[in-house]
Structure 1
């Protein structure tokens, strides 16, 4: 019996040791994959910033071509394209050519990465690496449009207007979804007094800022009755603010003041930006732009370019706002943002910054150190503001409108019982 017990014990020890070795082998085979996924994930997240830097560089190149391109390119080049004295045409075509090159690069990246779902796929490695080859591709994409005929560039300019409008729509949806997320984050714990107090304080700050913004716009841009258009813009914006606040506080909606306060501040910012885009010689703008290029104009121009880059970057990584199903769990080897959507937004952003630099007008060019100035830019921003308010208000009432009508069976039974029998 002792011998049999010893044999059984030895067998158990051997089995246990073999199992432990098997487990160690499994761990050894799994851990490198986890390390690879983690490393690929870091490369993927870092790649976003490299693409943002590329987009910023193309913005600066477009500005340089618009303002100082005639001193770099020989006169023969733009005289053949625009004729003698066609400097505005050259400025516009130069911006559109740079925009087309940026669009070609990011659209090619979209075509090569839109089907990527896993980190270990070849398309994912192409998105996150191969930077030397991609810089060569970028250089070729930027040079080729300068050899295309002006007629083709004009056609691209017409298409770019549509692409820029689509970009504004995507950016608007992203902003509204962010506001909804912010409101949901603060209102998640309704029992917490601290959460309620922070939400109330934040909404108060936004509403006070909105009221101050409306008062400032009346003071600076609508001091005379002759400024009827500015008075209309500001007054209608104030009406939209009151309507959004009333809808969010309605008993059937009951969204609180935080989301409507943030949206009100955003709408007022769009109105202010639209009025600021009016031509500098307008009498209703007491903050007239100077003919010189002082540090305030230069700083405002650089801030505007940074805002364009940040808007494009934030919209590009926000693919979740445009998904119909948002409850899918992420695995370790899944990509953390949609590569195809990211590059598509950047390609549309290339069209958008082109429209800003030429003020949405293919016939004339903006003056130096200016961006998005002119009546066309003003109306584009005003329409964007009204559209933003309309989408937000629809999102407020959509759950109430689409809510199915609940039939009270007890009431219907009582009505049937009390109804007179024939």
Structure 2
């Protein structure tokens, strides 16, 4: 890339890290356009008779060629477009984090409901053990946050505020979940508590390396590797779970049964029976999830993956220098944590506030 004139048009060639960041963003932009294009194409599909249904489930050779061309084309666009994409990717990544939150809430409530329905002592003990383990990890993690991000001798009021507020939310989760009117469970509350604490850590570790309250600046390499691994893992799990959850969100209509199955004599005259079966055979079957939303998730995941791989705190810019922009990343994750807390509390109290509605 150093020899491509429309990329390296600087008087002084940037360092290798700049080109690595630029390459990641260009590939990410190609992925984003590819999945966004598919999301637009899939808008409005109602049944499986739609010709676009075949493109969604097949057409792999066309998709692979289109994806390769799209990614290749991104290496011909000017640096200004890449810089703009890097900026909006932070907001797109925040939106993807919100999608993760919704999926996590759906998962923990489903997990709790499944174990409670078994109505056996073993599963109640399992609920208690998992909840206890999550709370132990949450408070241990919080202790490490105080140790890492509120070093003695420095005024770290903002970091202290973030950590203390997270612990207050953990306490609020438990109180609301155990309230007699809610009649909830500690399992969802404990899992969400652990996740909010992780988001707090992720935000604080994104602070600029020269910030005096970032006690991890001496271990930035290890921290970034650990954060990257966890981030990519949660991204993959979120995308896979969203696909599985979307696919199982509606009941798939079964194939019509044979006209001779289940009865020795047809209930209808033979010719009418054949016509009825033929009509059912050619009747369009509705799709079980939104194809457009499915691809939109991958578009947002492309943005989020790019931010993870570039560390959130770097910008290619037009100057050819890596610019530290860590604070926007901090606030994206902090706000995501607060939103997670708000959505979880709402999921607990909404059935009480609106008993006539089904949640």
TM-score range, shorter chain: 0.7 to 0.9
Q: Deviations over 1:239-292 (max 9, x none)?
A: 00001111111111110211111111111111111122222333334433457x
Partner in structure 2 of residue 266 of structure 1: 195
Partner in structure 2 of residue 400 of structure 1: 352
Tell me which structure has the larger Cα radius of gyration: 1
1:352 to 281, 288, 304: 304
Matched, 1:107 2:36: yes
Task: Quickly say closer, same or farther: Cα 1:309–1:227, change in 2 above 3 A.
Answer: same
Contact preservation (8 Å) 2:239, 2:298: yes
CA–CA distance in structure 1, aligned partners of residues 301 and 11 of structure 2: 30
CA–CA distance in structure 2, aligned partners of residues 154 and 84 of structure 1: 19
Contact preservation (8 Å) 2:182, 2:352: yes
Partner in structure 1 of residue 270 of structure 2: none
Task: Quickly say closer, same or farther: Cα 1:317–1:162, change in 2 above 3 A.
Answer: farther
CA–CA distance in structure 1, aligned partners of residues 179 and 76 of structure 2: 59
Task: Quickly say closer, same or farther: Cα 1:300–1:240, change in 2 above 3 A.
Answer: closer
Equivalent residue runs for 1:38-187 within 5 Å: 72-74=1-3, 76-80=5-9, 84=12, 93-116=22-45, 122-187=51-116
Contact preservation (8 Å) 2:162, 2:200: yes
CA–CA distance in structure 1, aligned partners of residues 331 and 225 of structure 2: 24
Partner in structure 1 of residue 122 of structure 2: 194
Q: Which stretches in structure 2 are left out of the alignment for 5+ residues? A: 256-284, 319-323
Task: Quickly say closer, same or farther: Cα 1:289–1:373, change in 2 above 3 A.
Answer: farther
Query: 1:115, CA displacement in angstroms?
Result: 4.6
Matched, 1:211 2:211: no
CA–CA distance in structure 2, aligned partners of residues 272 and 243 of structure 1: 19
Partner in structure 2 of residue 315 of structure 1: 242
Q: Which stretches in structure 1 are left out of the alignment for 5+ residues? A: 1-71, 366-371, 405-422
Contact preservation (8 Å) 1:92, 1:364: no
User: Matched residue of 1:163: which SS?
Assistant: helix
Partner in structure 2 of residue 387 of structure 1: 339
Partner in structure 1 of residue 281 of structure 2: none
Task: Quickly say closer, same or farther: Cα 1:281–1:217, change in 2 above 3 A.
Answer: same
Q: How many residues align?
A: 319
Q: Deviations over 1:367-422 (max 9, x none)?
A: xxxxx982221221111111100111111111111136xxxxxxxxxxxxxxxxxx
Task: Quickly say closer, same or farther: Cα 1:153–1:164, change in 2 above 3 A.
Answer: same
Task: Quickly say closer, same or farther: Cα 1:89–1:141, change in 2 above 3 A.
Answer: same
Structure number with the bigger relative contact order (C-alpha 8 A, sep ≥ 6) is 2
Query: 1:206, CA displacement in angstroms?
Result: 1.3
CA–CA distance in structure 1, aligned partners of residues 136 and 18 of structure 2: 45
Matched, 1:331 2:253: yes
Q: Deviations over 1:174-213 (max 9, x none)?
A: 11111111111122244x3222222122211111221211
Task: Quickly say closer, same or farther: Cα 1:201–1:383, change in 2 above 3 A.
Answer: same
Task: Quickly say closer, same or farther: Cα 1:318–1:329, change in 2 above 3 A.
Answer: closer
Partner in structure 1 of residue 164 of structure 2: 235
Query: 1:157, CA displacement in angstroms?
Result: 4.0
2:177 to 237, 242, 248: 248
Task: Quickly say closer, same or farther: Cα 1:83–1:117, change in 2 above 3 A.
Answer: farther
CA–CA distance in structure 1, aligned partners of residues 326 and 93 of structure 2: 16
CA–CA distance in structure 2, aligned partners of residues 320 and 129 of structure 1: 16
CA–CA distance in structure 1, aligned partners of residues 239 and 325 of structure 2: 20
Contact preservation (8 Å) 1:316, 1:346: no
Please identify which structure carries the higher helix content: 1
How high is the TM-score relative to the length of structure 1? 0.65
CA–CA distance in structure 2, aligned partners of residues 309 and 84 of structure 1: 38
